[in-house]
Chains A and B, each alone.
Chain A
Amino acid sequence: MNKKRDSMEIIHDILKYIGECRGKAKPTNILYKSNLSHQMLTEYLNDLLLKGLIKEIKQDDKKLYELTPKGYSFLNDYNIIRKFMTSYGFE
């Protein structure tokens, strides 16, 4: 059985998927890839928007998400962030 993911891993998975889509990540695809409930995903996406890790774009009346430079920094430094947070008990 897979270990239950913590919020940091979930954020990483969401950002990684959006990054792979190069600015064309649809909410339904993120939902499918992140393996979260609709409500949970909405909460995560709002949080990521608030923290400036992703931004919302409209294309043909469809809502899409793309990574901001801060979002890319998160992905690049994920291992350092993860290890730092763990060592200081911030998980």
Chain B
Amino acid sequence: MPEASASGTSSPRALTRALLEPFGASALDDRASVLDAARCIPRTLADLAVPRPGGASFHLTDHHVREALGPPDGVTPRTPFAWSALTARRALGLAGLRALLTGAVRSPVDGVISAVDDAVRAAHRGENTASPMDRWLAGLPPAGRGAVQAGAVTWATRLWCALDWSAFEEPPTIGRDHWWDSPHSSLLALRSRAEVRSVARDPAGSPLSVHLVVVGGPRRTTIRSELSAAAMVEVLCSPRSLPPGRMVGWWPDSGHLVTLEIDQRALNDGVAAVARTLAHTGVTPIDCEGVMRAAA
């Protein structure tokens, strides 16, 4: 069973409440202790990231944490990255939701269609901003593109239906991942992924960031470690963004959610998860390309 601060089954109201509910009185103390602890973490992580033969870098994501900490039989065999309906749906779905929240379109379907059209147009014009995914989409036959569009629409609609969007104090940020580059080592970078970022307040009225992470696959024991590692990255990035307060992991397939309040314990767990992942990657070559592209 996943170990976390709280878990349950979500309805739109329940998931929104879990994400946005005000912080308790302990958040004030937690905030100070977390920021204190965060000062030591960059040095600790740099020491852990001992360069490997060949000078390969460590670009760690939640996927690597899951892979490193999960049971050996729970991980699908690694295959070279390739664009597919599966790997493209998040990027297209997020683009569709952004368009929806800005009022540019009126439904997830329209948002995804707009995202696909933009991608194909950029690729056909040879624009510098065209991504590898854009070029891949542009090269697909119409039916293949339709299948990709269908997958992205489903992904986006599930997320759209999962939250009460009117409850947000201000429009949330959709799908901006944060990368933290180690100041001590150019070989180490860590990613925090979140599909929805918003703000909740502590008792003093100060804002803390809250993060909704869409989780795939079965419920698993590593989920706390995955969220903790992402929380740690948010803390390390917080000098240039809001201090983080909460991570909520949500499984669209089952409706389950897991909430992690970001306190010192979560931070320690995050460091431990990264340490174990780095140790694991010492024996297993790490493939960054695929997960980084799919998450872009």
Decide if A and B are genuine partners. no
A residues near B, CB below 8 A?
Answer: none
B residues near A, CB below 8 A?
Answer: none
